[in-house]
Structure 1
Amino acid sequence: MHAMQYELTLPADYDMGIIRDRVDRIGHALDDWDGLGVKAYLMRERGVHGSPVSQYAPFYLWNTTEGMNSFLWGGPFQGPVGDFGRPVVRQWTGLAHEGGDAADSAPLVAVRQRVPVPEGVVLAEFMDEAVRENGRLAGRDGAVLAATAVDTSRWELVRFSLWARRTPDAEGEVFQVLHLSAPGRKSLPTGRQW
């Protein structure tokens, strides 16, 4: 599993209805994308769920790097690049993924938490604990899924979770889920990824 996200931070007075309409119009385009586990079309609005900014920030869990590269270099990514400029695309190597008790429900919100990997820790122990925490997160009431991945260029974990209720039981930045494309969700590996 490979995680990926880009964030398009918009002006404070930007009409977020434009983003909603965009996702309504094109969100289905990846509903059968080869190699994609999950794409959550995410949005934050300034002042909603404590967000200091308005953003469009899709989050992806990929089954294959070929699917990811096909998306990035094969055309669809050119849409947001052409409309908003080329964003930084963050990528993390998968550590763990689990379905939650609400796995069959449509997610309403997502939570992303980024955590630095401290200097001096035993990496195997730290990553094992991150996997256990991912399982605990997936086990909370209303969780659709939980995934944890690591960026070794920044030594940063990302915990990503989808929730079937508007008040998630997780800490981090809260996003509204506008659409979920999940063609390969059942193929995403579960549990520890090494």
Structure 2
Amino acid sequence: MHALQYELTLPADYDTEIIRARVSRVGRLLDDWPGLGLKAYLLRERGVHGSPVNQYAPFYLWNAVDGMNDFLWGGGFQRLTDDFGRPTARQWTGLAYDEGMTAGSPARFAVRLRRPVPDTGVLAEAMGEAVDEVGRLAREEGAVLAAAAVDTSRWETVHFSLWEHDGPAAEGDLFQVLHLSAPGRAALPRGRQW
């Protein structure tokens, strides 16, 4: 599993209905993208749910790196860069994935938490704690799914979870889910990824 996310931080007075309309228009284009586990089309609005910014920040979980590369180099990502410029696309290697207690429910909210891996200690223990957190989140009421991944160039983990309600039992940035494309969600490997 591979995770990918880019963030477009928009002006404070930006009309976020433009993003909603865009997702309504193009969101279904990835509903059957080969190699894609899921793409959550995410939005934070300044002043809503404590967000300090307007931000469009899709989050992906990929089953296959060739599917991710086809998206990045084969035209899917180009539509975004043509409209907004080229954002930094962060990538992480998968650590764990699990379906939540309400896996069949629609995802209305997402939480993303990035945190540094401690400079000292045993790496396997730090990664094990990230895996354990995925299991804890997946068992919470309202959890649709939970995942964790690591960026070894920055030594940073990312925890990502989807929720059916707006009071998730997870720390981090809260996003609204505008659309969920999940053609390969059932094929995402569950549990620890090593």
Instruction: Give the structure-1-normalised TM-score.
Output: 0.99
1:173 matches 2:167 = no
Q: Distance in 2 between matches of 1:129 and 1:43?
A: 28
Aligned partner of 2:44: which letter? R
- Per the TM alignment, residue 5 of structure 1 is displaced from its structure 2 partner at its CA by 0.1
Residue 49 (structure 1) aligns with = 49
Residue by residue, what CA displacement relative to the aligned partner does 1:24-59 show, whole Å, maximum 9, x if unpaired? 011000000000000000000011111111011000
- Per the TM alignment, residue 110 of structure 1 is displaced from its structure 2 partner at its CA by 0.1
Does the residue aligned with 2:76 lie in a helix, a strand or coil? coil
Aligned partner of 1:36: which letter? L
Residue by residue, what CA displacement relative to the aligned partner does 1:59-117 show, whole Å, maximum 9, x if unpaired? 00000000000000000111110100000000000000000011011100000001110
Q: Distance in 2 between matches of 1:12 and 1:155?
A: 31
Does the residue aligned with 1:67 lie in a helix, a strand or coil? helix
Q: Distance in 1 between matches of 2:121 and 2:19?
A: 41
Aligned partner of 2:80: which letter? P
Q: Which runs of 5+ in 1 are unaligned?
A: none
Q: Distance in 2 between matches of 1:149 and 1:185?
A: 16
The RMSD of aligned alpha carbons is 0.5
Residue 130 (structure 1) aligns with = 130
- Per the TM alignment, residue 167 of structure 1 is displaced from its structure 2 partner at its CA by 1.5
Residue 99 (structure 1) aligns with = 99
- Per the TM alignment, residue 176 of structure 1 is displaced from its structure 2 partner at its CA by 0.3
Q: Distance in 1 between matches of 2:133 and 2:40?
A: 22
Q: Please list, as runs of the form range in 1=range in 2, the aligned pairs for 1:140-151 lying within 5 A after superposition.
A: 140-151=140-151
Aligned partner of 1:189: which letter? P
